[in-house]
A and B are shown apart, each in its own frame.
Chain A
Amino acid sequence: MSPPFIGLTGVIALFVLLFARVPVWASLALVGFFGNVALSGWPAAFAIAGTTPFDVGSSYTLSVIPLFVLMGEVASETRLSSDLFAAARVILSGVRGGLAVATIAASACFGAVCGSSVATAATMTRIALPEMRKAGYDDGLATGSLAAGGSLGILIPPSIILVIYASIAEQSVPKLFAASLFPGLLLTALYILVATAVVRLWPDHAPGLIKTSVAEKFAALAGPWQFLLLFVVTIGGIYAGVFSPTEAAAIGAFGAILIGVLGRRIGWTELMKAVEGSVITSCLLFVIIIGANLFSFFMVQTHLPAMLADAARTANLPDLVVMALIIVAYVVMGCFLEGIGMVLITVPVFLPIVTGYGYDPMWFAIIVVIVVEVGLIHPPVGMNLFVIQAQAPETKITSIYRGILPFLIAPLILVVLLFVFPQLALWFPKILYG
């Protein structure tokens, strides 16, 4: 059997195992291990399987994961989200649909610190949905803005998914964090535009208008100072070259705990819950990364990605068609696969093809994260939609589906913009790091 054929068999076996409910990490690890056995024999496969877990589990670069997860878990316990929403609703008062816009803005800010789309969607639903309902907002608009806003956390830095992409694609974490900032802000602006357009087209979807004075708006700006402090210190520190990502994550986690304890927002029980959550979430990610590294090594040995790239070139497929096919593949896989698993499974296969066509791996990282975001919100299976319904069971899932549809335009526009102007992602890392 030729290596590419073994590679193809491995990919098919991987999907069979995944759909048979075998955990993502075990599917990747087993296919990677037995694939390496088929290609290089037992001793070589055991050597790789023996060193990979330790290499991953002692990687300084990956220490950023548990520390940022801890920061997010603590931030979730400290009611930071309610401060953000309270400030945003006052600042945006007087704007028609202001509560929906405030929800998106607060979700983007909270998601940046929290890093988890699901946690952001769940937390913001509890805070913002009752307010929007009280103001007479349409359920579709309310839940659509919650789902869309909740998905922003994985694009706006610090993003765990980008750290994982960096480890698998051998990219710089600070550069990826720089590349994702402006697309993240742009996507926030696009979601806000969609919410505003929906309100303009159907004014009855957002009937209420809250009035506040200019002085109140300025006062509200000072409300979420803790968030600003955390974000500026951690991400600003990385951009300015003051801290490495691990240092920024440690300071962010420590800062979040300090803010919580000194402000009496978090007790011992909540702190322990946050730590336990961080341990479990982070270690689940680590075992997947271990499995993905084994699978990735196997894929490289098979030359399957290079063969696919050659096949695409031989067939004279234009780069745009190849990229469109890859994006469609991501959207389809987003129906079944969880985001991080999807990145770990696909990047070793797709990245050589993408770079073979001359695209920048940093730019591709941003595209991948945006498409993963779409997977979180597109009906009928987007995870954020179910999270919102779980928080508000009285809401019909069909209302949520109807509400999210207009918001799906925003990431598609962003993907098109990134194809036309790749510098949207690439200029900031270039300015910061040359």
Chain B
Amino acid sequence: MTPDRAATEDGPILRLIERLQWAQVRIAALALAAMMLVTVADVFMRYVFNSPVRGSYEIVEATLVVFVFHGMAAGFFRRANIVIDLVDTFAGRRITALLIRFSDLLSIVALAVLAWAMTGPAWQAYDYGDRKLELDMPIYYLWIVALIGIAGTLVCALGVLFARAATPRERGH
């Protein structure tokens, strides 16, 4: 899981964004590992010592928030989102490049709409002071994590739009 050589040959902005998405993938990977280990420990403790890990269900939910909202940055940075590329077979290179830019733009619009819309319920979670039952953790913490993750994803998507050539899928996954 090292920064991609191809990307480090790009301009300084893209290099910075490459580092950002790399950091976000690492955060997501750690969340995935935590999710797996907590669940395994919970099962083990439950069946062997009859003493399950307290709040394991909520830990999984919380780590999933970290995983999803930070992990998605890599997909946007690599233009790896699933597309129907049927048009590539009959459209010329210029039209394909235009369509790629168009879809980059619409992805950013969709991301921005979601990010903006999420601030409302995030404020509500802060105002109401809702907490996780077993962990006694304020739920707005998770909203903050989610908003930071989606903001990072938005930066990655913007970087791709402005700093990366419009070619079909730079890197597979």
Instruction: Point out residues on A near B: beta carbons under 8 Å.
Output: 17-26, 29-30, 33, 46-47, 49-51, 53-54, 56-60, 62-63, 66-67, 70, 243, 246-247, 250-251, 253-254, 272-273, 275-284, 286-288, 290-291, 336-338, 340-341
Contacts and interface: CB of A to CB of B under 8 A. Distances in A.
Nearest to B79: A23
Nearest to A69: B32
Contact of A50 (B35, B68, B81, B119): B119
Given A67-B35, A250-B39, A53 B146 contact: yes
Interface string B41-78: 01100000000000001001110110111011011001
A340 B81 CA distance: 13
A268 to B, nearest CB: 10
Given A24-B83, A338-B84, A46 B117 contact: yes
A261 to B, nearest CB: 14
Question: 9 tightest A-B contacts by CB?
Answer: A250-B39, A50-B117, A283-B71, A23-B81, A49-B117, A57-B68, A283-B72, A26-B110, A21-B99
B40 to A, nearest CB: 5
A230 to B, nearest CB: 14
A259 B117 CA distance: 44
Interface in B77-110: 78, 80-88, 96, 99-100, 102-103, 106-107, 109-110
Secondary structure of the B contact surface, majority rule: helix
Contacts of A23: 81-83, 103, 107
B121 interface: yes
A52 to B, nearest CB: 8
A250 B36 contact: yes
B20 interface: no
B67 A66 contact: yes
Most chain B beta-carbon neighbours within 10 Å: one of A46, A58, A60, A273: A58
Interface residues of B, number: 58
Contacts of A278: 32
Given A53-B146, A279-B32, A280-B80, 18 more contacts: A22-B106, A30-B110, A33-B113, A46-B117, A49-B113, A53-B150, A58-B142, A62-B64, A247-B43, A251-B39, A272-B1, A275-B29, A282-B67, A283-B28, A284-B75, A284-B80, A336-B84, A341-B84
Most chain A beta-carbon neighbours within 10 Å: one of B1, B43, B114: B114
B67 to A, nearest CB: 6
Contacts of A30: 106, 109-110, 113
Secondary structure of the A contact surface, majority rule: helix
A366 to B, nearest CB: 23
B113 A280 contact: no
A338 B80 CA distance: 14
Contact of B81 (A25, A54, A63, A66): A25
A18 B81 CA distance: 12
Interface of B: 1, 25, 28-29, 32-33, 35-37, 39-40, 42-43, 57, 60-62, 64-65, 67-69, 71-72, 74-75, 78, 80-88, 96, 99-100, 102-103, 106-107, 109-110, 113-114, 116-121, 142-143, 146, 150, 173
Given A21-B85, A21-B100, A53 B114 contact: yes
Contacts of A247: 39, 42-43
B64 A59 contact: yes
Contact of B36 (A70, A272, A283, A288): A70
Contacts of A254: 36-37, 40
Contacts of A279: 25, 28-29, 32, 67, 71, 74
Most chain A beta-carbon neighbours within 10 Å: one of B64, B68, B81, B100: B68
Most chain B beta-carbon neighbours within 10 Å: one of A66, A279, A281, A284: A279
A18 B84 contact: yes
B57 to A, nearest CB: 6
Contacts of B84: 18-19, 21, 24, 336-338, 341
A26 B36 contact: no
A423 B57 CA distance: 34
Contact of A284 (B1, B29, B82, B116): B82
A284 B107 CA distance: 13
Given A21-B85, A33-B113, A57 B60 contact: no
A20 B102 contact: yes
Contact of A58 (B33, B42, B61, B119): B61
19 contacts: A21-B99, A22-B106, A22-B107, A23-B81, A25-B81, A50-B114, A58-B61, A247-B43, A250-B35, A251-B40, A272-B29, A279-B29, A280-B71, A282-B68, A283-B28, A283-B75, A284-B75, A284-B82, A338-B84
